[in-house]
Amino acid sequence: MEKYRLIKEIGDGTCGNVYKALNRENSEIVAIKKMKRKFYFWEECMNLREAKSLRKLNHPNIVNLKEIIRENHELFFIFEHMDHNLYQVMRDRRTPFSEWEIRSLMSQVLQGLAYMHKNGYFHRDLKPENLLVTRDLIKIADFGLAREVMSEPPYTEYVSTRWYRAPEVLLKSSSYTPAIDMWAVGAILAELFMLSPLFPGESEIDQIYRICTILGTPDNSVWPEGMVLERSVYFNFFQFRPANLSDIIPNASLEAIDLILQLCSWDPQRRPTAEQSLQHPFFHVGTWVPCPLQDSSQLKKKQTGDKPKLELNLWDFGTESDDCFLGLTLAVKPSIPDREVGNHVLQQPSEDFLFYTRYQDHSSQSVFWPLLSSDHNINDVRNISSLPSPYMLSSQASLMTVGVPESSAFAFPAVQPNLLDNSAFGPMMSLSSPIQHGRLFE
- The per-residue b/e assignment along 339-358, b for 16 or more CB within 10 angstroms, e otherwise, is beeeeeeeeeeeebbbbbee
C-beta separation of 352 from 290 below 8 A: yes
DSSP code, position 62: B
Contacts of 225 (CB under 8 A, 6+ apart): 168, 173, 267
Contacts of 440 (CB under 8 A, 6+ apart): 312, 313, 314, 371
DSSP code, position 288: B
Give Rg (Cα) of the chain. Answer: 25
Residue type, 114: A
- The per-residue b/e assignment along 304-320, b for 16 or more CB within 10 angstroms, e otherwise, is eeeebebebebebeeee
The CA distances from residue 194 to 96, 99, 227, in Å, are 7, 12, 31
Contacts of 338 (CB under 8 A, 6+ apart): 345, 346, 347, 348
Strand partners, 384: 416
Closest among 350, 323, 327, 326 to 339, alpha carbons compared: 350
State yes or no: is 125 an active-site residue. Answer: yes
Residue type, 81: H
Q: Decide: helix, strand or coil at residue 169.
A: helix
Strands 398-399 and 391-392 come out as antiparallel
Phi/psi at 262 (5° precision): -70, -45
Given the residues 12, 125, 142, 295, select the one marked as catalytic. 125
User: Alpha-carbon torsion 151, 157, 158, 161, what sign?
Assistant: positive
- The catalytic site residues sit at 125
